[in-house]
Amino acid sequence: MTIIKQVDELKALVNEFSSFARMPAANPSPNDLNEVVREVMTLYKPGQRAISFESSLDDRLPVLDIDRDQIKRVLINLMDNAIAAVGDEGGAVRIETAYMPELQLARLEVIDTGPGIPPEAKQKLFEPYFSTKKTGTGLGLAITSNIIADHNGYIRVRDNQPRGTRFVIELPVKTVTI
């Protein structure tokens, strides 16, 4: 590897690291999660011919107290991973939202039909710098889980059936107190 390439990689790493370390705190305001999902989907729809992009959005979803930019970052990180997993052979990438009134939660899922994630890797996914990609920083899911924690939410990973991966996020729905 040339020195120049090493320097470039180091610079990229430092940039990624500092943006991770100095990530601003969430600044939540009332937002329509479905609208945020729709906006993110428009970034991906054109171009990728081998991948079918799908969404299923629950219109009963109430307004949520979320940081719109940060939730976009979450969706983009998960979409980028899903698209990389599906790869050149193609497949489907899907975003779903659902309102669970009895739990006062909104569920947001990013689903792909890629190869899935081996059990050993599942333990390390959300740790900074865990990556199986040649040029991956391994910060995507670490940042994602920080953002969800800042929103008092949960993120977990599940196998999709018959193949692929589901990232499941649950966000609290603020109940109005009178």
Ligand X SMILES: Nc1ncnc2c1ncn2[C@@H]1O[C@H](COP(=O)(O)OP(=O)(O)OP(=O)(O)O)[C@@H](O)[C@H]1O
Q: For binding to ligand X (CB under 6 A), which residues are involved?
A: 77, 81-82, 85, 112, 114, 117, 121, 125, 130-133, 136-142, 165
* 3-class SS of residue 10: helix
Cβ neighbours for 75, distance < 8 A, ≥ 6 positions apart: 36, 37, 40, 95, 110
Cβ closest to ligand X, residue 130 vs residue 154: 130
Cβ closest to ligand X, residue 61 vs residue 146: 146
Q: How far is the CB of 47 from ligand X (least distance, A)?
A: 18
Contacts of Mg ion in 31-70 (CB under 5 A): none
Cβ closest to ligand X, residue 43 vs residue 103: 43
**Coarse DSSP helix, strand, coil percentages of the chain, rounded to the nearest 5 percent:** 35, 25, 40
Cβ closest to ligand X, residue 61 vs residue 95: 95
Q: How far is the CB of 97 from ligand X (least distance, A)?
A: 18
- Is position 153 an interface residue for Mg ion (rule: CB under 5 A)? no
Query: Considering only residues 81, 145, 146, 160, which one is a binding residue for Mg ion as defined by CB under 5 A?
Result: 81
In this structure, the dihedral spanned by the alpha carbons of residues 19, 15, 13 and 167, taken in order and rounded to 10 degrees, is 30
By rule CB under 5 A, what string of x and - marks binding of each residue 123-152 to Mg ion?
A: -----------------x------------
Question: Residue for token digits 């991906």?
Answer: 44
The CA distance from 55 to 115, in Å, is 20
| Stretch of residues binding Mg ion (CB under 5 A), selected from 8-16, 34-42, 62-70, 79-87 | 79-87
CB-based contact 112:160 (threshold 8 Å): yes
149 to 16, 70, 107, 138, 153: CA distances (angstroms): 20, 12, 14, 18, 5
What residues make contact with Mg ion under the rule CB under 5 A?
81, 140
